[in-house]
Amino acid sequence: MIEHYSFGRIVVDGKAYTSDLIIFPNRVKSYWWRKEGHKIHVEDLIDALEAKPDVLIIGTGYLGLVRVPEDVKRHLAERGIELMIKPTKEACNAFNELLRSGKKAIAALHLTC
């Protein structure tokens, strides 16, 4: 569960992180780097896609500056993965709700801008 999020900092299951990350059902991949900082590419999500989530939540940052192009959206849809794109604060709340509902969710979160 995500316990707290503020600009540049997140607490997941009692551990604080200060870099972008991907939260899986059983682990956290910290230091999530992307091909382009504020644009998501399919290859940025390979680990998440291999885990075959029901839902992938992309947190677009505190101000929502990260963009998810149409080709990425299509790629996920073709694999039957529901995609949620939200500013990171809202993405954190959605992730926790999905966990409570029993869905297999993965969150890829940009923590700043």
**pTM of the predicted protein model:** 0.96
Quote the percentage of the chain above a pLDDT of 90.
99
- 83 forms beta bridges with 56
Band of residue 28 on the pLDDT scale cut at 50, 70, 90: very high
Question: What's the pLDDT at 106?
Answer: 98
Cα–Cα distance for residue pair 113/110, rounded to 1 Å: 8
pLDDT of residue 63: 97
Alpha helix ranges (H) inside 2-79: 46-50, 70-78
Place of tokens 């926790």: 96
The single residue listed with the structure tokens 């940025």 is: 44
Report the 10 Å Cβ neighbour count for 35: 10
Q: Could you give all domains of the chain from N- to C-terminal order, each with its CATH number? A: 2-109 (3.40.1230.10)
Residue 12 pLDDT class (50, 70, 90 cuts): very high
Q: Among 93, 91, 87, which Cα is nearest to 107's?
A: 91
pLDDT value, residue 72: 98
Specify the pLDDT at position 61. 98
pLDDT, tens digit, 9 for 90 and up, residues 31-84: 999 999 899 999 999 999 999 999 999 999 999 999 999 999 999 999 999 999
